[in-house]
Amino acid sequence: QVQLVESGGGLVQPGGSLRLSCAVSGSTRDIIKMGWYRQAPGKQRELVAVINIGGSTNYADSVKGRFTISRDNVKNTMSLQMNSLIPEDTAVYYCNIRRLFKEYWGQGTQVTVSS
């Protein structure tokens, strides 16, 4: 089993920055990709950013140029640096790990962008 623990959520002003972190434990040998998802009130969960096993990344159009996903293979963590935040970024953000046959989710961390 893979266990994910997220941190870094909170309240931030529009235009501000926030950094989310996901600590990964358990078996990681067959991980295919790691990513961040978010779910705003009344909306479906959507992919925000993904980093693949080879290191390539993909971003939702709404966050391109503002968010950066990264991983630290030594510390076994994944991060999402969020800059130039706007109210539309308000959501619960989830860390996701995909292994060969299963996927795992963190508990979610609330990000609120408001003045």
What is the length of the chain? Answer: 115
| Average pLDDT, consecutive stretches of 10 residues, N- to C-terminus, the chain (115 residues) | 94 98 89 95 96 94 98 91 98 95 95 97
Strand bridging mode 57-59 / 18-26? unpaired
Under 8 Å CB-to-CB from 1, ≥6 apart: which residues? 26, 27, 104
Q: What pLDDT does 105 receive? A: 97
Token couple for 111: 């990000």
Phi, psi of 80 (to 5 degrees): -130, 110
H helix or E strand, kind and range, residue 4: strand 2-7
For the record, the structure tokens of 113 come out as 């962008």
